[in-house]
Amino acid sequence: LVERLAETGFAMETRRFVPHCTIARTPRGAWLPAELTNELRPPVVAWTAKQVTLLRSRLRIGGAVHEAHSVFPLDGASS
């Protein structure tokens, strides 16, 4: 896929892909006092995921709009 896209002149992302979960965002340049950030320790949690949803983010003036792109069930079967 990468090779075919490059053939068409598609500008490829050069940064290493790092899958992640965004829990919260703050405005750029936002400042939080140390007393507050020291208290923001996430609790340890455990859960069972039933699926993984790949989202597409489209940046808009009012903020990002996230759309489900693909859903991958996690039923224990290998594929």
Distance CA 39, CA 32 (A): 11
Q: Rounded to whole angstroms, how far apart are CA atoms 50 and 46?
A: 13
Cα–Cα distance for residue pair 57/70, rounded to 1 Å: 13
Q: Give the C-alpha separation, 5 to 11, whole Å.
A: 8
Helix (H) or strand (E) segment spanning residue 51: strand 51-60
pLDDT value, residue 77: 56
Query: Please, which pLDDT band fits residue 79 given cuts at 50, 70 and 90?
Result: very low
pLDDT over 70 for what percent of the chain? 80
Q: pLDDT value at position 21?
A: 74
pLDDT score recorded for residue 76: 66
User: Which amino acid type is present at position 49?
Assistant: A
pLDDT at res. 23: 66
pLDDT digits (tens, 9 = 90+) for 47-67: 888 888 888 888 888 888 989
